[in-house]
Chain A
């Protein structure tokens, strides 16, 4: 087996992030970086040499215009023949993840999903860190059999600067199977309302609220801050006061500002808000876990704090 790294993502921005990491891994193995491009009328295959691709393997066919996991798998298997990689990196989009698992099964090898870090250990195995337990923990895993496959989410690795690299373009001859899954319609998603996941400011309710009507206090604060309103699991799953909750098995949020109001801060909730830039907690229990993971904590009764805070913020806005 050669010591090469083969990278693929149907998302060009993510692919270039893969190439930065891929080049580093190929260098540490003493192998070369190869890229797979799959599509119809591909015109920009030359650009990837700038990011260190020695061989850009191109599967270009009208049958590849839209992503089909079985067709793309055939292209992938051809690319694996041509590149003979020790490591395969695939962009962890939804399509990338289903492709990675199917390719891994076809190659009878392991796969590490959504790796946030990757390195080659002394034995030449691939070691990756990834989230587990619904995002509350980080697992360190090792893939012990090559080819090692890892999928990589967007922004796990930086976008490299283009350089002077020179590479060749190799055309793959792929026989595309008749698609068994037929796409009858593609409905573009309505962009705009990103819901809680994309909200920059979130205020969130927990068990500290004694009645559903009291959520009005939080809604008023949300109005002042132009925030979305969320809640912890009990408020939604147990009490049914709101539709959806933030945390494990609920929504994972990453706002610039998160205000937890009357939330105790169980690990399942914390896992859902970890990526928030600033966390503020208001809870009358000084020992509540939420204070441990907050940037600012105020120990106090939310029924006193919220009206005063709303008034103070309104004055600040003027």
Chain B
């Protein structure tokens, strides 16, 4: 019976986020939030592993007030319980501080066989939390995983590296980070969505996991100074002609002049 902790981050829905054309700032307020795409695949991985044997899947997230809603989706997909570390004093901390908090939360959750997360969250793109957590917990890390199976106290995985696919084996417990190719996450049924609301969800602050929020915040070292969309540097030639046929001919000329037909 495997006990699997899945690390999930809820982020703004990037398909709905807009950029202010004047300031080039991303507009994130009021945008719907959801579980980051790769993390969702980590959850699907955990649920599949549970289904192939016996076990328990625990969703763990550090987030804000909206995280509870996002994690309902995780429970509907098949997680058995969800734990959220929500502490206003921790807003905006870096990957180092986040990993410290997650380590404390994992230890509070007790025994486990596997910790699974996504390669990276799609908002911060930092790709640090899984390796950091492995180091803090003194565990082996298996990153960039695109295939995985559990044995008796062991794990076998295929890692997707630039030059090779690496087949590895490791004794549990271990920390695994999956890539998006690992699977397609399921869409929960209506019945499972209803059931999700009755599954146990607990919310902790820093103190509840034995940490001082001030100390954690002080340990955070990387700070975001500003975020903006890059300037667009394009020719922006609008093809105009009396007839659509002439416009198409002009476009064909442009395609030729850009060397697209040169082999």
Note whether A and B form a binding pair: yes
Q: Answer whether residue B113 sits at the interface, using C-beta atoms and an 8 A cutoff.
A: no
Report the minimum CB–CB distance from B121 to chain A (whole Å). Answer: 10
A-B contact count (CB 8 A): 245
Q: Answer whether residue A157 sits at the interface, using C-beta atoms and an 8 A cutoff.
A: no
Q: Answer whether residue A293 sits at the interface, using C-beta atoms and an 8 A cutoff.
A: yes
Question: How far is it, in angstroms, between the C-alpha of A108 and the C-alpha of B130 when the chains are bound?
Answer: 15
**From A200, which residue of chain B is reached at the shortest CB distance?**
B260
Q: Are A98 and B131 in contact (CB under 8 A)?
A: yes
**From A151, which residue of chain B is reached at the shortest CB distance?**
B127
Q: Answer whether residue B107 sits at the interface, using C-beta atoms and an 8 A cutoff.
A: no
Q: Are B26 and A133 in contact (CB under 8 A)?
A: yes
B15 touches which one: A266, A274, A299 (CB < 8 A)? A266
Q: Which of A25-33, A52-60, A99-107 contacts B (4 or more CB under 8 A)?
A: A99-107
Report the minimum CB–CB distance from A198 to chain B (whole Å). Answer: 13
Q: Answer whether residue B251 sits at the interface, using C-beta atoms and an 8 A cutoff.
A: yes
Q: Are A143 and B247 in contact (CB under 8 A)?
A: no
Contacts of B191 in A (CB 8 A): none
Q: Which of B70-78, B167-175, B192-200, B205-213 contacts A (4 or more CB under 8 A)?
A: B167-175
Question: How far is it, in angstroms, between the C-alpha of A279 and the C-alpha of B240 when the chains are bound?
Answer: 17
Question: How far is it, in angstroms, between the C-alpha of A102 and the C-alpha of B127 when the chains are bound?
Answer: 11
Q: Answer whether residue A173 sits at the interface, using C-beta atoms and an 8 A cutoff.
A: no
Q: Answer whether residue B37 sits at the interface, using C-beta atoms and an 8 A cutoff.
A: yes
With A111-B95, A186-B166, A305-B248 as known contacts, state yes or no: A102 contacts B180, CB within 8 Å: no
Q: Are B236 and A292 in contact (CB under 8 A)?
A: yes
Contacts of A132 in B (CB 8 A): 123-125, 227
Report the minimum CB–CB distance from A174 to chain B (whole Å). Answer: 17
Contacts of B131 in A (CB 8 A): 69, 98-99, 101-102, 105
Q: Are A110 and B222 in contact (CB under 8 A)?
A: yes
Q: Are A248 and B163 in contact (CB under 8 A)?
A: no
Q: Are A143 and B260 in contact (CB under 8 A)?
A: no
Question: How far is it, in angstroms, between the C-alpha of A221 and the C-alpha of B260 when the chains are bound?
Answer: 13
**From A148, which residue of chain B is reached at the shortest CB distance?**
B221
Q: Are B95 and A189 in contact (CB under 8 A)?
A: no
Q: Are B170 and A180 in contact (CB under 8 A)?
A: yes
Q: Are B140 and A180 in contact (CB under 8 A)?
A: yes
Q: Answer whether residue B162 sits at the interface, using C-beta atoms and an 8 A cutoff.
A: yes
A143 touches which one: B99, B127, B221 (CB < 8 A)? B221
Report the minimum CB–CB distance from A248 to chain B (whole Å). Answer: 5
Question: How far is it, in angstroms, between the C-alpha of A210 and the C-alpha of B134 when the chains are bound?
Answer: 49
- In this complex, how many residues of chain A approach chain B with their Cβ under 8 Å: the count is 84
Q: Are B165 and A293 in contact (CB under 8 A)?
A: no
Contacts of B222 in A (CB 8 A): 110-112, 141-144
Contacts of A1 in B (CB 8 A): none
Which residues 145-181 of B sit at the A interface, judged by CB distance below 8 A?
156, 161-171, 174, 177, 180
Chain B 96-134 against A: per-residue CB contact (8 Å), 1 yes, 0 no?
100100000000000000000000101111111111111
Contacts of B94 in A (CB 8 A): 110
Q: Are B37 and A313 in contact (CB under 8 A)?
A: no
Q: Answer whether residue A113 sits at the interface, using C-beta atoms and an 8 A cutoff.
A: yes
**From B126, which residue of chain A is reached at the shortest CB distance?**
A113
Report the minimum CB–CB distance from A93 to chain B (whole Å). Answer: 6
With A93-B162, A105-B135, A295-B237 as known contacts, state yes or no: A140 contacts B225, CB within 8 Å: yes
Contacts of A97 in B (CB 8 A): 127
Chain B 239-255 against A: per-residue CB contact (8 Å), 1 yes, 0 no?
10000110111011011
Report the minimum CB–CB distance from A122 to chain B (whole Å). Answer: 14
Contacts of A257 in B (CB 8 A): 255, 258, 260
Contacts of A216 in B (CB 8 A): none
Which residues 42-68 of A sit at the B interface, judged by CB distance below 8 A?
none
Contacts of A201 in B (CB 8 A): 260
Contacts of A233 in B (CB 8 A): 15
Q: Are A296 and B239 in contact (CB under 8 A)?
A: yes
Q: Are B122 and A142 in contact (CB under 8 A)?
A: no
Q: Answer whether residue B261 sits at the interface, using C-beta atoms and an 8 A cutoff.
A: yes
Q: Answer whether residue B228 sits at the interface, using C-beta atoms and an 8 A cutoff.
A: yes
Q: Are A180 and B249 in contact (CB under 8 A)?
A: no
Q: Are B167 and A184 in contact (CB under 8 A)?
A: yes
Which residues 261-318 of A sit at the B interface, judged by CB distance below 8 A?
266-268, 274, 278-280, 282, 291-301, 304-305, 308-309, 312-313, 316-317
13 cross-chain CB contacts under 8 A: A69-B143, A138-B228, A139-B227, A140-B227, A181-B140, A189-B162, A249-B37, A291-B236, A292-B236, A296-B254, A304-B244, A305-B244, A305-B247
7 cross-chain pairs, A with B, having the tightest CB-CB distances, nearest first: A110-B221, A105-B135, A101-B131, A312-B252, A101-B128, A110-B222, A185-B167
Given A181-B169, A312-B249, A316-B256, 16 extra CB contacts under 8 A: A69-B143, A102-B132, A102-B134, A102-B135, A132-B124, A134-B125, A137-B230, A181-B170, A183-B167, A187-B164, A226-B263, A233-B15, A267-B18, A278-B260, A279-B234, A291-B236
